[in-house]
Amino acid sequence: METKYGMVKNWIKSKITDGTFVPNQKIHSESELMQKFNVSRHTVRVALGELVSTGWLYKEQGAGTYVAQRSENKMLAEGRSISTKSIAIIVTYISDYIFPSIIRGAESVLREAGIQVSLFSTNNDHDHERKILETIIAQKFDGVIVEPTKSAIANPNINYYLKLEALNIHYVMINAAYDELEPVSVVLDDEKGGYLQAEHLIHLGHTNILGFFKNDDLQGLKRMKGYIKAHRDNGVPINPKNIVTYTTSEIFSKPVDRLRNLLTEPVSLATGIICYNDELAMRLLECLRQKKLCVPDDISIIGFDDSFFTDVSEVKLTSIRHPKSELGEMAAKKIIDLTNSSKTSYGKEENQDSYVFKASIVHRNSTADIRKKD
């Protein structure tokens, strides 16, 4: 549990890093802080004393406490080298799924350029993202490669990215982007990927296709858009029940529960399943096994990302290729270019520096032409 003085101290640091309190600005008085946090004067003085000793604040006798100017000397005291550039890599998850390949790709380019790399994970949580951005601002990193957190919903941390811009800390977004910031980004064409998933099954004669899409990340919404567009372009109607959306918190429950229900409804059974990613496909494959359905004889399934999951099951999964390490390498090149130039990390004119990888399908044996059964 956070101590009382730690609560006061961290609140002040947060206000400094997000730009609410600016250098040389007078902060709240001891009495105001006592009232705000319902703590003793001693607690407030301990918190302020630590912030003064570590260079966040300074006191003027008889005038009050002020925000310090974070100088190069303070950076050195924190173990930062002024001559060596430092780049932060922020991803939603570090050890799971495709992220190690993305990280290795970025690190290989950055370390070859002599750049210090620090790795952070948000766990796709806005509070974690905020704390990481506070650290990056406080330690004055030269640049950031960041995967947006829950990119499809309003982000409460936009002001931190504006603070990065004000401090000339460049950032490049990967896999998705906060549209309101118009950042330089490196992404896969997710809409085209979703289109290819649906088009592949439609061309194999499937007309009753389930689609499972994560809807708090832009990748999922774009893949769903591609799914819908492919149906429209091919004149195949969509049963609204066939579209299943879920959030990060529902990832382990809702998709499998919905599939079980859909497979037992007394209507024409689906013949194909489109998955938001390969990880989800593995969970749905297990559900199909429990229902005694064979892939692809009874039902076809297609994943997204062409991850290691495509080969771990007896059913080799057809999937959309994700560039992974190439995406990380490209993002690293972009952030190096930004930190070495006068370009900004944002803006319509500069956004031409963004990069979109083309989507392509990798065929394996999890999908079948149902017309050959007739």
Do 129 and 57 lie in one domain? The reply is no
Output the pLDDT for position 82: 46
CATH of the domain at 42: 1.10.10.10
Q: How far apart are CA 143 and CA 331, in angstroms?
A: 11
Count of domains forming the chain = 3
Q: How far apart are CA 202 and CA 22, in angstroms?
A: 58
Do 46 and 105 lie in one domain? The reply is no
Output the pLDDT for position 142: 93
Do 217 and 315 lie in one domain? The reply is yes
Residue type, 186: V
Do 79 and 42 lie in one domain? The reply is no
Do 195 and 181 lie in one domain? The reply is no
Output the pLDDT for position 364: 96
Do 157 and 303 lie in one domain? The reply is no
Output the pLDDT for position 256: 96
Do 31 and 43 lie in one domain? The reply is yes
Output the pLDDT for position 72: 45
Residue numbers of the chain with a pLDDT score lower than 70: 1-2, 70-83, 96, 266-268, 347-352, 373-374
CATH of the domain at 313: 3.40.50.2300
Q: How far is CA 175 from the centre of its chain?
A: 7
Domain containing residue 56: 4-69
Output the pLDDT for position 348: 52
Question: Taking the alpha carbons of 284, 286, 287, 288 in that order, is the dihedral positive or negative?
Answer: positive
Output the pLDDT for position 76: 44
Do 297 and 233 lie in one domain? The reply is yes
Do 101 and 174 lie in one domain? The reply is yes
pTM value is 0.79
Output the pLDDT for position 61: 73
Output the pLDDT for position 373: 65
Output the pLDDT for position 362: 97
Do 315 and 294 lie in one domain? The reply is yes
Do 268 and 134 lie in one domain? The reply is no
Domain boundary among 69, 91, 113: 69
Do 79 and 58 lie in one domain? The reply is no
Give pLDDT tens digits for 289-320: 999 999 999 999 999 999 989 988 889 999 99
